[in-house]
Amino acid sequence: MTRYVIRRILWLLLVLLVVSFITFSLMHLVPGGPWDREKQLAPQVVEALNRKYGLDKPFFVQYGNFLIGLLHGDLGISYSFQNRSVTQILMQGLPITATLGITAFIAAILIGISLGMAAALKQNSWIDYVSVMFSTIFASIPGFVLAILLMVVFSVLLHWLPTGGWGSVSQIIMPAFALGALPAAFIARITRASTLEVMRQDYVRTARSKGLLERVVLIRHILRNSLIPVVTIAGPEFANLVTGSVIVETIFSIPGIGRLFVQGIFARDYGLIMGSVLFYAFVIAIANMVVDILYGVIDPRIVYN
């Protein structure tokens, strides 16, 4: 197990390196550079800017410089927030995006699994219908529409919550909900489907016929086994959720990494793009690693060697 984890971490570093190189290449392939504007800058200014940010150097030298900086924890200077280092900018957004993402994720997992499980255990009851309705509705509304609906109801009409910003508990409720609704719906459906499937398995029947307590059957056999597909989906969903905060952060004016990332792309802020992509890649890789390790924990039949 330990060897497996170490090997996975080494792989992770390699994955990050490949991701960084592909992003770096694609970034330079996409038409339009950081200094292209509607009101064009004077050629002397463009030349000086390229010089200032090292963009006058050949491609591989630029990539090399990026890697050297990365080893020192330095992602360079942002072009769109010109006086600040990318590392500093990302560090400021990180706790915000993480708090939002984890809150939404925990809510989505709790709501999703309990709704899905309840629906499956009481198939064709009102609980089942409510659960299916919930997951259908929230999986059917685009995130930005849901966000503005929440804002209109809870801020404009009821005056219960502020429309955006960051810093208080009241400011996290709507964005976390807007962010977590789709994964919660998805998790509820996956849980329902897999629980129904597990309940039909022979070992559940066997366990029941052995006269085991219903609670034991439920926890040891049904819950555990029906969570395998949920775990598979939870890792990517967590990553989706963190990266999905891009739109939600923009609408609710939350100063997180998602909003920086969007701005970075539009501004061709290479340092900011590289920094945020690597951050996302890291979160995703870790999430996947945790999922694979959790497989082994939940499903003892899977052995890593």
Partner 1 sequence: MAIVANTTIGSERPHHTLWGDAWIRLRRNKLAMAGGIFIIVLALAAIFAPLITPYDFAHQDYSALLQNPSAKHWLGTDGLGRDVFARLLYGARTSLAVGIFTQLIVIGIGIPIGAIAGYAGGRVDNVLMRFVDVMYGFPDLLLVILLKAVLGGGIYQLFLAIGLVAWVNISRLVRGQILSIKSRDFISAAKVMGGTGRYITWRHLLPNSLGPIIVSITFNIPRAIFTEAALSYIGIGVRPPTPSWGAMIHDGYDVIFASWYQVFFPALAVALLMIAFTFLGDGLRDALDPKMRR
Partner 2 sequence: MRRKSIILSLLAILMTASLVLTSACTQGTKGTGEQILRVNLAGEPAQIDPNQASWAAEKSVITQVFVGLLGFNQDLSLRADVATVIPTIANEGISADGLTYTFTLRTNVTWSDDKKVTASDFVYSIKRELNPDLACAYASFYFDIVGAEAYFSATDKTDAEKTALENAVGVSAPDDETLQIKLNDPLPTFLDLMALWPVYPLREDIITQYGDSWTDPPNYIGDGPYLLTEWVHLDHMTFKPNPNYWGTKPNLAEIDFKMIADANAALAAYYNGELDISGVPVGTEKATMTNAVLSPEILRYNDLTTFAFQFNVTKPPFDNKLVRQALSCAVDRQTLIDIRGGVGKVALSWIPPGMPGYDATLGAEYAFNVTKAKELLDQAGYSDVSQLPEIKFSYSDTAGNRTIAQFLQAQMQQNLGINITLDPQESKSFQQYINAGKHMWAWFGWGADYPDPDNWLPQLFGTGAGNNHTLYSNPTFDALAAVALKELDNTTRLQDWADAQKLVMDDAPIVTMFYRERFLLVKPWVKGLKTTGMDGQVAGDMFYNEVYIAK
Binding site for partner 1 (CB under 8 A): 11-12, 14-16, 18-19, 22-23, 26-27, 29-31, 132, 136-137, 139-145, 148, 186, 189-190, 193-194, 197, 200-201, 228-229, 231-233, 235-236, 239-240, 243, 246-247, 261, 265, 273, 276-277, 280-281, 284-285, 288, 295, 299, 301-302
DSSP secondary structure string, 219-258? IIIIIHHHHHHHHHHHHHHHHHHHHHHHHHHHHTT--SHH
CA distances from 258 to 58, 63, 91, 104 (A): 30, 24, 13, 15
- Binding partner 2 (rule: CB under 8 A), the pick from 118, 120, 151, 272 is 151
Q: Give CA–CA dist 253/174, Å, rounded.
A: 12
Q: Which does 93 bind (CB under 5 to 8 A by kind): partner 1, partner 2, none?
A: partner 2
- Binding partner 2 (rule: CB under 8 A), the pick from 3, 39, 210, 301 is 39
Q: Is 17 in the site for partner 2 (CB under 8 A)?
A: no
Which region among 98-106, 108-116, 201-209, 266-274 touches partner 2 (by CB under 8 A)? 266-274
- At 77 the three-state DSSP class reads strand
Tell the burial category of 254 from Cβ atoms under 10 Å away from its Cβ (0-12, 13-18, 19+): buried
Of 269, 287, 117, which is closest to residue 195 (Cα–Cα)? 117
- At 85 the three-state DSSP class reads strand
CB 147 within 8 A of CB 156: no
CA angle 38, 42, 45 (to 5 degrees): 110
- Residue 101 or residue 235: which is nearer to partner 2 going by CB? 101
Using the 8-state DSSP alphabet, how is residue 10 labeled? H
- Residue 229 or residue 255: which is nearer to partner 1 going by CB? 229
- Binding partner 2 (rule: CB under 8 A), the pick from 69, 164, 236, 296 is 164
Question: Going residue by residue from 91 to 130, which x/- string records binding to partner 2, judged by CB under 8 A?
Answer: -xx-----------------------------------x-
Write down the least CB distance from residue 189 to partner 2, Å. Answer: 14
Of 171, 169, 188, 176, which is closest to residue 110 (Cα–Cα)? 188
Which parts of this chain interact with partner 2 (CB under 8 A)? 30-34, 36-45, 47-49, 51-52, 80-84, 89, 92-93, 129, 132-133, 136-137, 140, 148-149, 151-153, 155-157, 159, 162-167, 250-256, 259-260, 263, 266-268
